[in-house]
Structure 1
Amino acid sequence: MRQAIVVGAGIGGLTSALALIRAGWQVRILERAEVPGEVGAGITLFPNALRALDAIGVGDRVRALPSGGVAGPAGMRDPSGRWVVRVDGQQPIHDMYAVHRQDLYGALAGALPDGVLSAGAEVVGTRVEADRVEVGYRAAGRDLSAGADLVVGADGLRSRLRAAHWPAYPGPAYAGYTSWRGVTTPASAVEASGETWGRGTRFGILPLGDGRVYWFATASVPARAGTAGGNPDARPDERAELLRRFADWHAPIPELITGTDPAAVLRHDTYELRTPLPGYVTDRVALVGDAAHAMTPDLGQGACMAIEDAVTLAAALAGDVELPDALRRYDAQRRPRTQSVVRASHRMSRISQAHGPLTGPLRDLVVRLTPPKLAERGMRRVIAWVPPPVPAAR
C-alpha cells in the first residue's frame, strides 16, 4: 500500500487525509500542535466544497453540524443601516453554509481512523530520494523520521514545506487590512445578515443556526509589527478597539461586540499569496490549501479551495497510476482555478475596503446600480465546480 504523510491538521490537511485513505493510501498526519484543533470562529462552505466532501463520503457528517446561513433580509448596508443592495433567495450567497470552525474540525477529525493523526509532531525537514521522501520531525523532545511515497504540505500560510521546496518564492504579502472575528449568543434573534461597509471598514453578520452568531470586522490599517500574519491572537483590549470603531454603527453591531467575551475576540492581519506559485508540486511533494494559494477571505472560498484541492489530489492518485503523472495532473487542474480565485478575492478586497472620501461613496453607488445577475456571475462560476470522482479502494 502506498504511503503519504500529510503535514498539518487543518481543514485542508484533514480532508487530504480522508480523501487519500478513501483512494487506498496509508496516511499519517503530522501536526505540530500538542492539542490539535481549529482556532477561529465561523467558516463558510459553498456548494463546491460540499460536493467535494460528498465525493469522499463525509458530506452528510458535515451537514449534520449546527449550521446557519443567510436568512431573512440580507445584503450590504451602510453604517446607518440603510440598505445599499439587498439580495433575494436566488443569489449565490443563499447557497452558503455556515458552521463553527471547531465543529467542522471535529467532524473531519472524527472521521479519521485511529492512529492517523500524530499531535505534537513538528516537521523540521524533508529529503527526497529516488523512490521515497524522508520527513524529519521532532516529537516529545526526540528527533524522529518517517518515510513515505508522498508528502502533502497542508501547513498553511507560513508553510515550511513551501519555503524548503520553493526557496525563491517571495512569500505572503499583506492585503492591507486587519480582521477581527468572534462568535456570540445574542439576547434576541438576529433577523438580518450580510455585510455593512464603511470607509476602509466592514462588519459582517452570519447566524450559525443554533442561536449563535458569527461576526467579523475589518479595518484598513498598517500591518502590525512583530506579528506572524494570519496567526490569530486574542487580546483583552481588542473588544475596546472594536467599540471605538463601530459603536455608532447600526444595530445589532454594537450589541454583538459587547456580547462577546473579550478573550474570545480574535484578531489577525490578512495576508495572501499574491505572487502565483510556479507550481504546486515538485518531486514527491504536493501543496494544498493556504500553503499553495492563500487568499483573502472576501469571497469566502479559502477553506472551500483547500477541500477542493484535497479531493482533486486524491482523485489523481487513485488506482494504479504513476506518481509524477498524477501530481502533474493535480497541478494542471488546480493551479489555474485557485489562482483565479486568489485574484478575484484580491479584487473584491480592494472594492470592499475602499476608504477614500470619494472612492467609498462611488463604490456604494456602483454596487447599487450594478444588475444582480451581472454582480453574481463570477461567483456562480466559482461555486458550480464539480469534483472528480474518488472511487473507494477495495
Structure 2
Amino acid sequence: MNKIAVVGAGISGLSIANYLEKHQLDYHIYERRKKDDLTGHGFLLPKEGIEHLSQIVDPDVLFKQGNFLKKYIQYSHKGKILAEKDLHDVFVISRSSLIKILTQSIPAGKISYEETIMPCSIQKGKLKKQDGAYIDSDVAIVSDGSKSRIRREIFKDEIMKIVQENEIVNIIKCKDIAASLEDNFMKYHHEDGGLTFGILKLSEDTVLWYSQFDNEKYKISEQCSVDSLKKYMFEVFDDWDPMVSSIVKGSNYENVHLWRVYELEKLNPFYKDNIVFIGDAAHPLIPFTSQGVTSALKDSFTLTKYLISEKNTSDAFRKYEAERKPEIETHIRNGRILLDQFLKPLNQQTDSILPISYK
C-alpha cells in the first residue's frame, strides 16, 4: 500500500489512523486546528461502537474515562416521568477524553497541526497546503467534518440543508449533581414540542448536558456571544424541573458550544479518484441518531479492511461504499423520523422514543 494522507484529526481521522497504525500502513495526518484545541463535549457509544473502538484502544483505559448508562428516562419539562427504557452496553464519554485516548497510539511525527488542506483544481486527486505545496500521498482519506471543504470542492452541485434543530452543549462539574443522577440518560421534553434538555453523567463529578431547539420556534442569533447564550438559557429554562434549572444556572459557559445542524439533501459518492471520505465528511448524520462516532469507527474499520485486501484503491473504495452506504441511509431515515417526532407536541409523539438509531 502506498502513502496515505489523512485530512482531519477529529474522531474519524484518529480512528482511521489507529487502524492504519495497527496494520502498519504508511500515513500522515493533517489537522487545521491547534494541537490543544479540544472543543466539543461528548458522545454516546452503543454496543457496536464500543466493539469497534476496543479493536484499536485498550478497553480498560477507555472505560475509566467514561460511564455506562443503565436507563433512558423521558420526562416532561416539569419533571414527570413519561417513559423508561433499559439501556444495554451504551457508553458515554467526553470528546476530549476520546481524542486523547485515540491520539496515544499515534506517533507524534505522524500528525501535523495547523495545516489547512484543499484539493487541487488542476490535478485530479491531488491535495495541497495553504502555501500551494502538494501533499506527498497516493491516497487521501478525508475526515474534515460535516461541512467538509474538500467534499464541497469536489462535489460542487451538492445541496446542504439547514436542519430544523440547533443544539447547545456544555459540561458542568458538580459532585452533588453527578451523584444524584446515578447512571441514567435523562431527557426532559417541553409539552409543546421542539425543546428538550438531556443530561448524561460522565464521571463522579462531571455531567454532560445538551439542549435541542426547534430553530424556527426558538430563535438564536447567528452572532450570539457567550453572555447572550447564557442569558438565553436562563430565560428559556427558568421554570423547568429544578434539576434542569440548577444545571443551567450552575454551569460555566466559557466553553459552551452552539451547534447549527446541517444535512446533505442527497448523499454524494463516498469517493472520487484517489480521495475517499469517512465519517461526517462522507455522510453528515442528524444528531438524534447518536451514531456519529460509531459510524466513523465502522467506516474506518471497513475502509482499512479493503485497503489491505484489494489490489487497487478503486476496488477498495467501491467495496467500502457498497458496504457502508445502506446502513448510513438507514440512520439518515431514522434521524429524520426522530427529528419529526421532536418537533411535535408531546401528546402527538410516539411513546418512549429512544434517541439512538439502530440499523
Q: Taking structure 1 as the reference length, what is the TM-score of the superposition?
A: 0.82
Task: Say if 1:234 and 1:266, in contact at 8 Å, map to a contact too.
Answer: no
Task: Say if 1:190 and 1:252, in contact at 8 Å, map to a contact too.
Answer: no
Residue aligning to 1:165:
154
Paired residue type of 1:361: N
1:325 aligns with 2:309: no
1:77 to 64, 75, 78: 75
How far is the alpha carbon of 1:97 from its aligned partner? 0.7
How far is the alpha carbon of 1:109 from its aligned partner? 1.1
How far is the alpha carbon of 1:319 from its aligned partner? 4.2
1:301 aligns with 2:291: yes
CA gap of 1:215–1:312, structure 2 versus 1, over 3 A, is same
How far is the alpha carbon of 1:187 from its aligned partner? 4.7
Answer with 62-71 or 151-160: which moved more. 62-71
Residue aligning to 2:141:
152
Q: Any idea what the Cα deviations from partners look like across 1:67-91, whole Å, max 9, x if unmatched?
A: 12324x6411101111110123xxx
Separation of aligned partners in 2, 1:297 and 1:313: 23
Task: Spell out the pairing of 1:4-43 with structure 2 (5 A cutoff).
Answer: 4-35=4-35, 37-43=37-43
Task: Say if 1:205 and 1:215, in contact at 8 Å, map to a contact too.
Answer: yes
1:236 to 216, 224, 227: 227
1:367 aligns with 2:351: yes
2:253 to 249, 262, 267: 262
Aligned residue for 1:263, secondary structure, equals coil
CA gap of 1:61–1:293, structure 2 versus 1, over 3 A, is farther
Paired residue type of 2:189: W
CA gap of 1:310–1:94, structure 2 versus 1, over 3 A, is same
Paired residue type of 2:236: R
Task: Say if 1:69 and 1:209, in contact at 8 Å, map to a contact too.
Answer: no
Separation of aligned partners in 2, 1:86 and 1:226: 36
The runs of 5 or more residues in structure 1 that have no matched partner are 228-232, 369-374, 383-394
Task: Say if 1:20 and 1:27, in contact at 8 Å, map to a contact too.
Answer: yes
How far is the alpha carbon of 1:260 from its aligned partner? 1.0
Aligned residue for 2:261, secondary structure, equals strand
CA gap of 1:248–1:128, structure 2 versus 1, over 3 A, is same
Q: Percent of pairs identical after alignment?
A: 21
Separation of aligned partners in 2, 1:234 and 1:59: 39
1:177 to 158, 165, 173: 165
Task: Say if 1:234 and 1:264, in contact at 8 Å, map to a contact too.
Answer: no
1:337 to 327, 341, 350: 327
Task: Spell out the pairing of 1:38-117 with structure 2 (5 A cutoff).
Answer: 38-55=38-55, 57-60=56-59, 63-71=62-70, 74-88=72-86, 93-117=87-111
Task: Say if 1:280 and 1:292, in contact at 8 Å, map to a contact too.
Answer: yes
Separation of aligned partners in 2, 1:345 and 1:194: 19
Separation of aligned partners in 2, 1:149 and 1:324: 12
Paired residue type of 1:183: I
Answer with 120-129 or 303-312: which moved more. 120-129
Paired residue type of 2:306: A
CA root-mean-square deviation: 2.3
CA gap of 1:234–1:67, structure 2 versus 1, over 3 A, is farther
CA gap of 1:84–1:271, structure 2 versus 1, over 3 A, is same
Aligned residue for 1:249, secondary structure, equals coil
Aligned residue for 1:69, secondary structure, equals strand
CA gap of 1:6–1:224, structure 2 versus 1, over 3 A, is farther
CA gap of 1:270–1:348, structure 2 versus 1, over 3 A, is same
CA gap of 1:126–1:334, structure 2 versus 1, over 3 A, is farther
The runs of 5 or more residues in structure 2 that have no matched partner are none
CA gap of 1:122–1:63, structure 2 versus 1, over 3 A, is same
Residue aligning to 1:230:
none
Residue aligning to 1:387:
none
Task: Spell out the pairing of 1:164-313 with structure 2 (5 A cutoff).
Answer: 164-170=153-159, 172-188=160-176, 189-191=179-181, 192-198=184-190, 199-222=193-216, 235-277=226-268, 279-313=269-303
Paired residue type of 1:145: Y
Q: Any idea what the Cα deviations from partners look like across 1:179-238, whole Å, max 9, x if unmatched?
A: 1111112251232532111121000011002321111001112476757xxxxx861221
How far is the alpha carbon of 1:265 from its aligned partner? 2.0
How far is the alpha carbon of 1:335 from its aligned partner? 1.1
Aligned residue for 1:112, secondary structure, equals coil
Separation of aligned partners in 2, 1:202 and 1:120: 36
Deviation above 6 Å: which 4+ runs of structure 1? 127-130
Q: Any idea what the Cα deviations from partners look like across 1:113-137, whole Å, max 9, x if unmatched?
A: 231110011113236969xx43210
Aligned residue for 2:28, secondary structure, equals strand
Separation of aligned partners in 1, 2:25 and 2:276: 15
Separation of aligned partners in 2, 1:285 and 1:16: 14
Q: Taking structure 2 as the reference length, what is the TM-score of the superposition?
A: 0.90
Task: Say if 1:75 and 1:87, in contact at 8 Å, map to a contact too.
Answer: yes
Paired residue type of 2:207: V
Separation of aligned partners in 1, 2:314 and 2:23: 17
Paired residue type of 2:227: P
Task: Say if 1:75 and 1:193, in contact at 8 Å, map to a contact too.
Answer: yes
